[in-house]
Structure 1
Amino acid sequence: MCKKIFVAATGQNCGKTTTCLSILHMARKRHFRVGFIKPVGPKPTLFSGALVDKDAALMAQVYGLGEDLEFMSPVVLQPGSTRKILDGEIQEGRLLEMIERACAEMERQCDFLVIEGAGHSGVGSVVGLSNARLARVLNAPVLMVTGRGIGSVVDQVSMNLALFRQEGAHVGLIMPNKLIPEKRSSTLRYLRTALGRMGLKVEGGFNYHPVLANPTLQRLSRVLDAPLAGDPQEGQRIVDHVQLGAASAQRVADLLLPSTLIVVTSSRDELLVMLASLHQIPEYREKIAGIVISGLAPVSRVTRQILDGSGVPYLRVRNTTAEAFAAITGDIAKISAEDHAKIGLVQSLAETEMNFAAVESLAGGHEPAARVVGFR
């Protein structure tokens, strides 16, 4: 019998995908043959010639599960899918059959199966495939990932729990994420008191780590749809702060914090030249993660030569400075398969910050059928 668990969340950006990465890592350390399913994929991407959900593609790449791709993402929603299902062009029952068949096949192949929901408990309700319903249909106990805090977490859990219980799904574990390290113990103590009254167990997830929360230059290159110029090895550099280069050149330099991305309009030659020069100094190289050069005005030939000669990473966009700044600060960094440093950190932290024994206990099942290191 395969151990399986449905990883849900109280909303977006709680760290659900990071939690799935961690559970799969810990299960493989136990020499389980692992599998992953995203039953309903709301974010399609083309991977290995197939249209699959982005999270399924991520897990396939990180854990070498490409052979199971057709089962990992059985239903992928595309623009217009909701209307087609509501109009009867696509049968809801047919989609559910595809999901059940994929899950059964993965259970047959694996010792430990992670089923990742999409968003909060009600996502998918419009087409009859809510997370709560899928958890019940697939007979998988639910681990619910939340954000940090006390009152807000209890409120969000209460709302999501209602639908899971209405559908008859078993929510067995709450995992608060992005905890403030110095408040971790007290936060978990209060949450165990409050949520224990609802019959829920609580285990802490990850502490808040800026490295996981903040984007890399490579990520921002995709967000802004602009190639990364300068040192290509800096693509994995993590941006911890964003500064609008609107003040005097000296003031911008004075305000630099570690790993800062500076957004500068293309007409600020003196500031661009100064940043390129400062990038040559070790003290400032740590502070200057890169530059986003915005605006329609061309960068002067001499300034561009200085930038390219310095190796400072930069992105050239045609957006206004305000538009570029809003796009950067409004982006919630998601882990991609190319974020090797982040994935390595997630896996390392899973070994110290996650109580995998509690997760495994909830998942149930028996001992793995094969204990061959590296298998699957």
Structure 2
Amino acid sequence: MLSPSSIHRPWRKAASCFPRSTTKRVLSSNVVAVNDDEGPKRFWSKNPETGRYQRPIFVAATRQHVGKTTVSLAVLSGIQKRFDKIGFIKPVGQQHVRVESLKSPGKEIRVDKDVELVKERFHLDHLDYEDMSPILIPRGYTKDYVDGKIAFESQLSDLESSMESVAAASDITICEGTGHCAVGSIVGLNNAKVASIMGADMLLVANGGLGSAYDELELNRVLCERYGVNVAGVVINKVIVEKYDQTREYMSKALMNNWGIPLLGCVPDRPFLGCPALADLERLFKTTLLCGEEHRFRHYNVGDINVVTTNLTRFLENLREKPKRTLYICHVTRDDLIVGFMGEHQRRIANGEDHEFEAALLICGRKKKYQLSAEISDLLQGLEGAPVMVVETSTHEATSMIAQYTPKLNIDDTNRVGVAIDHYEPYIDFDEILRRTQTD
């Protein structure tokens, strides 16, 4: 079992800007905040039954698009089954949404988008939005920081104040980082440093594989070591199903033999989670569905995208032969294909087969050169059950953008969020996570 001495944090070397006062305050009946000669506050929750302290758990990734938010959601779900009140904080956020302030009803504030998702999904009514998202980095923020318009001390104060509030109201606190461990360094708040400020233990998430995943983990582990952050364990994500047993066995050996860190989760790939919904494509192309809005959260396999260059007869044959949930792409000048798509949908309705029509049509064309005719646009307006979207790119650009796009979990796509949590949770060792993040 880890003791405080085994996770000693070399503050003098890593963070000379931290305060040095020596105080100990009880924030609530089960939370203590400590400032000592070695560095800043540590917000540890005390279990009144066992007398043991639970340190915050900080989830960070080795790079972008590895499934950090999905792992965070699964961790929250599993931990919520073991504690009455769980806390959540996204210390440093980038993409934000507007929500109503709970502290000041009627006032609109900005919070990280993942904070809204977590608070609503897990019904964290004991927490305030302001405390869950203390620092946002919008466009221009880094320049202001470098110019001296934003002080590190003010960021630190906001961060500690939020952590104090969340910890005092919770039995355990889960923190979600932003990207890999070095993200945020330019404003003095990379993930490793933030975890050290909070006295949190790190849970590192990497994509499936052996060599490349291990290399990425090493880069992030070294930065954690630089700031004296204890890495509790690793979760390997999106593992190729055929290589699952091999990856779990050898990654576990490599981690324990070289670092003494356990593999706390090994999650096989679930392709559906990487399939964009039409709502994702709306965000990607900065447009909205022309019709079929009721199917915004219908997902499409990128491998089933079909760029239509054939004649109308062959296209109609394709519509009836291909998997019913296929995303078709055509040029805006192909009025015959657009009318044919609508006609096939109407035929299905007339035959009582409309429930089997799940195809969607993406109409491409640069606005300065080509435009959808007013007559075709009028026909599409209000057409239910047949999603059609017009985007201002070439067909080649559209397919490339979709192929390179990584859809993100969001509060509106409840189906994908639920599937993600249900898929990930069984593959994570929650008992071992808690054992390695508690101390006497």
Report the alpha carbon displacement of residue 307 of structure 1 after superposing the two structures with TM. Answer: 8.3
Change (3 A) 1:91 1:316: same
Q: Please tell me whether the aligned partners of residues 327 and 359 of structure 2 are also in contact (alpha carbons under 8 angstroms).
A: yes
Report the alpha carbon displacement of residue 273 of structure 1 after superposing the two structures with TM. Answer: 3.0
Report the alpha carbon displacement of residue 57 of structure 1 after superposing the two structures with TM. Answer: 2.1
- Tell me what 1:54 maps to: 113
After TM superposition, which residue ranges in structure 1, 4 or more long, deviate above 6 angstroms? Answer: 282-285
Matched, 1:195 2:258: no
- Tell me what 2:183 maps to: 123
| d(CA) in 2 for partners of 1:259, 1:210 | 15
Q: Which moved more, 1:239-248 or 1:207-216?
A: 239-248
Q: Please tell me whether the aligned partners of residues 277 and 296 of structure 2 are also in contact (alpha carbons under 8 angstroms).
A: yes
- What code does the residue aligned with 2:340 have? M
2:306 pairs with 243, 253, 271, which one?
243
1:159 pairs with 216, 219, 233, which one?
219
Matched, 1:65 2:124: yes
Matched, 1:13 2:65: yes
Deviation string for 1:126-162 (max 9, x for gaps)? Answer: 1111111111111111000000111110110111111
Q: Please tell me whether the aligned partners of residues 290 and 381 of structure 2 are also in contact (alpha carbons under 8 angstroms).
A: no
- Tell me what 1:369 maps to: none
Change (3 A) 1:183 1:76: same
- What code does the residue aligned with 1:294 have? C
Report the alpha carbon displacement of residue 304 of structure 1 after superposing the two structures with TM. Answer: 5.6
| d(CA) in 2 for partners of 1:112, 1:19 | 17
Q: Which moved more, 1:47-56 or 1:246-255?
A: 246-255
- Tell me what 1:216 maps to: 277
| d(CA) in 2 for partners of 1:309, 1:347 | 34
Deviation string for 1:74-117 (max 9, x for gaps)? Answer: 01112111121122111112201211221121111111211111
Q: How does 1:216-365 map to 2 (within 5 A)?
A: 216-241=277-302, 242-249=305-312, 254=318, 256-257=322-323, 259-279=325-345, 281=348, 288-295=358-365, 296-299=370-373, 301=375, 305=379, 309=383, 311-364=385-438
Could you say what the CA RMSD is over the residues aligned between the two structures, in angstroms? 2.5
Matched, 1:135 2:195: yes
Matched, 1:87 2:147: yes
| d(CA) in 2 for partners of 1:352, 1:251 | 45
Q: Please tell me whether the aligned partners of residues 232 and 437 of structure 2 are also in contact (alpha carbons under 8 angstroms).
A: no
| d(CA) in 2 for partners of 1:174, 1:251 | 50
| d(CA) in 2 for partners of 1:137, 1:151 | 31
Change (3 A) 1:317 1:214: same
| d(CA) in 1 for partners of 2:271, 2:402 | 15
Q: Which moved more, 1:116-125 or 1:216-225?
A: 216-225
Change (3 A) 1:284 1:210: farther
Question: What secondary structure sits across from 2:232 in the alignment?
Answer: strand
Report the alpha carbon displacement of residue 269 of structure 1 after superposing the two structures with TM. Answer: 2.0
Deviation string for 1:252-284 (max 9, x for gaps)? Answer: 554845632112111112222333344455999
- Tell me what 1:373 maps to: none
Larger Rg over CA atoms: 2
Deviation string for 1:263-314 (max 9, x for gaps)? Answer: 2111112222333344455999768541111223224625863786573111
Q: Please tell me whether the aligned partners of residues 278 and 285 of structure 1 are also in contact (alpha carbons under 8 angstroms).
A: no
Matched, 1:38 2:90: yes
Deviation string for 1:180-202 (max 9, x for gaps)? Answer: 22321111111112222222211
Q: Which moved more, 1:162-171 or 1:260-269?
A: 260-269
Question: What secondary structure sits across from 2:110 in the alignment?
Answer: strand
| d(CA) in 2 for partners of 1:120, 1:286 | 43
Q: How does 1:102-113 map to 2 (within 5 A)?
A: 102-113=162-173
Q: Please tell me whether the aligned partners of residues 295 and 385 of structure 2 are also in contact (alpha carbons under 8 angstroms).
A: no
TM-score when normalising by structure 2? 0.76
Q: Please tell me whether the aligned partners of residues 93 and 136 of structure 2 are also in contact (alpha carbons under 8 angstroms).
A: yes
Q: Please tell me whether the aligned partners of residues 248 and 266 of structure 2 are also in contact (alpha carbons under 8 angstroms).
A: no
- Tell me what 2:34 maps to: none
Q: Please tell me whether the aligned partners of residues 232 and 433 of structure 2 are also in contact (alpha carbons under 8 angstroms).
A: no
Greater share of strand residues, 1 or 2? Answer: 2
- Tell me what 1:76 maps to: 136
Change (3 A) 1:82 1:14: same
| d(CA) in 1 for partners of 2:60, 2:432 | 16
Q: Please tell me whether the aligned partners of residues 7 and 115 of structure 1 are also in contact (alpha carbons under 8 angstroms).
A: yes
- What code does the residue aligned with 2:59 have? V
Change (3 A) 1:217 1:365: farther
Question: What secondary structure sits across from 2:239 in the alignment?
Answer: coil
Q: Please tell me whether the aligned partners of residues 70 and 421 of structure 2 are also in contact (alpha carbons under 8 angstroms).
A: no
| d(CA) in 2 for partners of 1:213, 1:363 | 31
Change (3 A) 1:44 1:306: closer
Q: Please tell me whether the aligned partners of residues 276 and 307 of structure 1 are also in contact (alpha carbons under 8 angstroms).
A: no
1:184 pairs with 244, 261, 264, which one?
244
| d(CA) in 2 for partners of 1:77, 1:308 | 40
| d(CA) in 1 for partners of 2:405, 2:149 | 35
Report the alpha carbon displacement of residue 121 of structure 1 after superposing the two structures with TM. Answer: 1.0
Question: What secondary structure sits across from 2:154 in the alignment?
Answer: helix
